[in-house]
Amino acid sequence: MSGSLLLIEDDPSISEMIEGYLVKEGYRITTVNDGGDAMRVFAKQSYDLVLLDLMLPNVNGLDLLQKFREQSRVPILILSAKDGEVDKALGLRFGADDYIAKPFSLLELAARVSASIRRATQYAETKTPEEPGNSLLAVGELIIDPNNFMVTKRGEEIKLTAKEFQILKLFVQHPTRVYTKALLYQLVWNEQYYGDENVINVHMRRLREKIEDDPSNPRYIRTLWGIGYRLGDL
């Protein structure tokens, strides 16, 4: 595997350990140890993935995450000593693609980096038979452009992360299908589901907050309690 990674980590020992291992795996690493510097570096170059620590000087990791998401859909993997459900949920809510808590094995980190880049690459390059030419998908007041990864509502663009876009497109392309959390995870994350409902719940809540007029009473994506989700009858 190869690719260009931005590593944002303020602990020199951890940073050197990660960089040394991933360079041996074939990656090109740019290392930054300060939140302010990270913003400047990110703006100057494109990366295949960002490794982001939450506890940073000057600009914290969650603020960086939100700023990055305003500019890019690059995969972001959070590295943090914080392992609580709240911190994990916040990271996913603000647009992170994955989360790994310290201490972690370098083997697992490399596997997650590889999987995140592979998913992003496949997502960007794959066009299904339902996406010929410049065809658009429409449901209610939403217009989905699969080829340009854009969603608009009443003419205004809605900024979705790659995962949010994949979830929405899946429902719109198959309006009568019911998706269990396990099936949704397998189709969007391309990984076996091990019962981590928090990941699905956070992404669904975040997507609803962006596309629904009233997220507490959703019209576009309905919850079938005890079963899963399906597109609403619009």
Model pLDDT for residues 96-108, shown as the tens digit of each residue: 878 888 888 999 8
- Are 22 and 94 in a shared domain? yes
Q: Find the CATH number of the domain harbouring 48.
A: 3.40.50.2300
Supply the range of the domain harboring residue 116: 3-125
- Taking alpha carbons only, the member of 52, 67, 7 closest to residue 32 is 7
Task: Give the global pTM.
Answer: 0.57
Confidence at residue 198, expressed as pLDDT on a 0 to 100 scale: 84
Overall number of domains in the chain? 2
Same domain, 146 and 173: yes
Query: Do residue 89 and residue 42 come from a single domain?
Result: yes
Q: What is the mean pLDDT of residues 130-146?
A: 75
Predicted pLDDT at 23: 95
pLDDT band at 221 (very low <50, low <70, confident <90, very high): very high
In a domain, 39, yes or no: yes
Q: Within a domain: residue 194?
A: yes
CB-count burial class (<10 Å; 0-12, 13-18, 19+) for 47: buried
Average pLDDT score over residue span 17-45: 93
Tokens found for residue 40: 């400047």
65 versus 119: the higher-pLDDT residue is 65
The reported pLDDT for the residue numbered 206 is 93
Q: Do 150 and 108 fall within a single domain? A: no
Task: Tell whether the torsion through CA atoms of 211, 216, 219 and 220 is positive or negative.
Answer: positive
Please identify, among 125, 157, 184, the residue that sits at the C-terminal boundary of a domain: 125
Task: Output the domain CATH number for residue 194.
Answer: 1.10.10.10
Q: What percent of the chain has pLDDT over 70?
A: 88
Residue 82 lies in a domain: yes
